[in-house]
Amino acid sequence: MKDTFADLGLGAELLAELAVLGYEEPTPIQKAAIPALMEGKDLLGQAATGTGKTAAFALPILQRIGRTKAVSLKPFALILVPTRELAVQVSEAFHKYSKSLGISVVPIYGGQEFHRQIVGLKRGAQVVVATPGRALDHLRRGTLDLSGLTTLVLDEADEMLDMGFAEDLELILEATPATRQTALFSATIPPRIASIAERHLKDPSRILIPRDQNKKGSMPKVRQTAYVVPRAHKIAALGRVLDIESPTLALIFCRTRLDVDELADRLVGRGYRVEALHGGMSQSERDRVMKKARGATVDLLVATDVAARGLDIDHLTHVVNFDVPASPESYTHRIGRTGRAGREGVAITFAEPREHRLLRNIEFATKQKITISTVPTPLDVKARRLDVTKGSIRELILAGGLDGFRVVVETLSDEFDPMEVAAAAVRMAHEATLGESANEDNTHIPVFESFARPQSPPRPTPSKSAPSRAPAATGATAKRPAPWTKPQESSQERAPRPSPMREPSRGPSREPENARDMVRIYISAGTRMGIRPADLVGAIANEAKINPRGIGGIEIAETYSIVELPGPDADLVIKALRGTSLRGRKVKVHRDNGVRK
């Protein structure tokens, strides 16, 4: 039984670093993957975020490089990840594990200065951590040489395919030596992943790590609660719930970057330390936010789905869905960020009254019950705040050091009842902790007791046989069917509505009758520039931070491209892509008006 890292055959230097970092025993994925990778075998691993898979592939790679005496400017290992945040996170992990080994690790991803990455590669990078699009750009420029590669890792492979990187992955795989060792990690193994594994992995070791091995068939230890609230009352309800929960750090998901900014501003007014995270931020701004989050100087992190990919923060206690996620898979991925390492996490979802079917579908797909709770009343919040104040005062009394304040109490006690003096002091302490939230405390929020739960599975249900999206096409048009069949009744429920942070419009609605109608946008980049569907999907997902599954048809001509998008997303994409460079050139973006230039 291999119960320690030493039992896995790791060298003394790595074991010393792990001891300094406080790693006591390997996780299940590490116990299974490290020996296989150290033996040089290919590996297909199914494991969710938070199971310790970064160390599972990083430690064998570092062990292998440490034993290699040859010096080379070519990378020994390439790690491909879906997002820039995950690239930074994995790169930092490699640095932590290899402090005493003197191994060079270089992250390359979009949003970072290209020249800086070239300099890092020229100096000699033994490990390169990259997003697929940027890795392919370096390959085409000749600044990334994979001819000496010994190990290739595809991390979060399903996410990379969802973001449209299928063709990029194929091209990168073709540029690596046939003798390389390949490890593929994915939270799920759909047919597309199985196909890649079959074509590019040689007799791989197969590893399946359930989300929670303590309870078979269960998810991590997460208390799941939903509050049924009309959209106009979501902000007030969220504030009350946060006051009751008192999270150490909560990650709050919103649909759009506009919602993120507006919600963050409102929560600052309630006295919370809040940071926003979305695609409209520069890389330096994102790095600043993540540093504050990991340094425990933030209470609430408000983010979009795409911007939050790859986030891994140890002290995250709560995940909040300000809107019901678009699919059960998205819900599962979100709440999986809490409830790790044996700690209990909390997942809170705010649903509108007509969204009950979406909650039922999530329950059915995850086989987990979501408790429907009543939004706390102003009296509940007041009682909770008083309880927090009481706890703080109790801690001060136990800590001592109050002698300098006794003279005030003694002086006032000559004039007033000591109980009155103490009550006044408590009131001052209590009111000093309140933000502007008191202004919203008397808002009447309609009460919805619960939803009637069906005795049989909801219909329609997520389709397990729904066609998976094929790799990005190389032809002129690529259709992208969604991998999950949405309920018929929810098509209008999921239609984007006016932001809850804004006053409702008093004029006629500018939205189409069917808010899910597709809008065509024009982009002045085509085959002449080497544009492919994956380039467009990647740019839209990374810059506009919208779910790539919503993208419709893509038509690529010689000098331009036409992309179909849900109506509410079109303007976001146009704004995000204006001034953006594709293949090194600035592009024009606007709604398609039929003019072709």
Residue 589 neighbours by CB under 8 Å, 6+ apart: 521, 522, 523, 524, 573, 574, 577, 578, 580
pLDDT at 508 over 50: no
pLDDT at 44 over 90: yes
Size of the chain, expressed as the number of residues it contains: 597
pLDDT digits (tens, 9 = 90+) for 112-134: 788 889 998 988 889 999 999 99
Query: What pLDDT is recorded for position 307?
Result: 67
Q: Residues 373, 379, 382, 387: is their CA dihedral positive or negative?
A: negative
**CATH architecture assignment, domain 6-208:** 3-Layer(aba) Sandwich (3.40)
**Is the bond preceding 107 in cis, omega lying within 30 degrees of 0?**
no
* Region 67-79 average pLDDT: 77
Q: Which amino acid belongs to residue 474?
A: T
Structure-model confidence comparison of residues 89 and 580, the more confident one: 89
Among 200-204, 410-414, 541-545, which range has the highest average pLDDT?
200-204
pLDDT at 271 over 80: no
| Share of residues in the chain with pLDDT > 90 (%) | 21
DSSP 369: P
| Superfamily, domain 222-376 | P-loop containing nucleotide triphosphate hydrolases (3.40.50.300)
Average of per-residue pLDDT values in the chain: 78
pLDDT at 186 over 60: yes
6-208 and 222-376, same CATH topology = yes
Residue 9 neighbours by CB under 8 Å, 6+ apart: 34, 35, 38, 63
Query: What pLDDT is recorded for position 456?
Result: 40
What is the distance between the alpha carbons of residues 183 and 162, in angstroms, rounded to a whole number? 19
Q: Do 266 and 404 form a contact (C-beta atoms < 8 A)?
A: no
What is the DSSP code string of 468-520? PPPSPPSSSEE----SS---TTHHHHTS----TTSPPP-S---S-SSTT-EEE
Q: Do 42 and 203 form a contact (C-beta atoms < 8 A)?
A: yes
* Region 278-289 average pLDDT: 78
Q: Do 153 and 183 form a contact (C-beta atoms < 8 A)?
A: yes
Residue 497 neighbours by CB under 8 Å, 6+ apart: 231, 515
Q: Residues 368, 374, 380, 382: is their CA dihedral positive or negative?
A: positive
| Share of residues in the chain with pLDDT > 70 (%) | 80
Q: Which of 286-300, 403-417, 497-511 has the lowest mean pLDDT?
A: 497-511
Query: What pLDDT is recorded for position 178?
Result: 92
* Region 32-46 average pLDDT: 93
Q: Which of 23-37, 97-111, 461-475, 520-534 has the lowest mean pLDDT?
A: 461-475
- Starting from the edge strand earliest in sequence, which strands make up the sheet with 250-254, in order? 274-277, 300-304, 250-254, 318-321, 345-351, 222-228, 371-373
* Region 483-495 average pLDDT: 34
* Region 470-487 average pLDDT: 36
- For 154, the 3-state DSSP assignment is strand
| Superfamily, domain 477-497+512-591 | RRM (RNA recognition motif) domain (3.30.70.330)
Q: How confident is the model at residue 580 (pLDDT cuts 50, 70, 90)?
A: confident
| Single pTM value for the model | 0.48
Query: What pLDDT is recorded for position 437?
Result: 44
Phi, psi values for residue 60, rounded to 5°: -60, -35
Q: Kindly report the CA angle at 111 between 548 and 152, in degrees rounded to 5?
A: 75
Query: What pLDDT is recorded for position 469?
Result: 37
Structure-model confidence comparison of residues 484 and 269, the more confident one: 269
* Region 433-443 average pLDDT: 52
Q: Do 379 and 441 form a contact (C-beta atoms < 8 A)?
A: no
- Residue spans of the domains in the chain: they are 6-208, 222-376, 379-439, 477-497+512-591
- Lookup: tokens for 468: 């998976």
Query: What pLDDT is recorded for position 1?
Result: 52
Structure-model confidence comparison of residues 2 and 149, the more confident one: 149
- Lookup: tokens for 187: 């939270």
- Lookup: tokens for 557: 């001509």
Place of tokens 């096409």: 473
Helix ranges restricted to H, 400-489: 403-413, 418-432
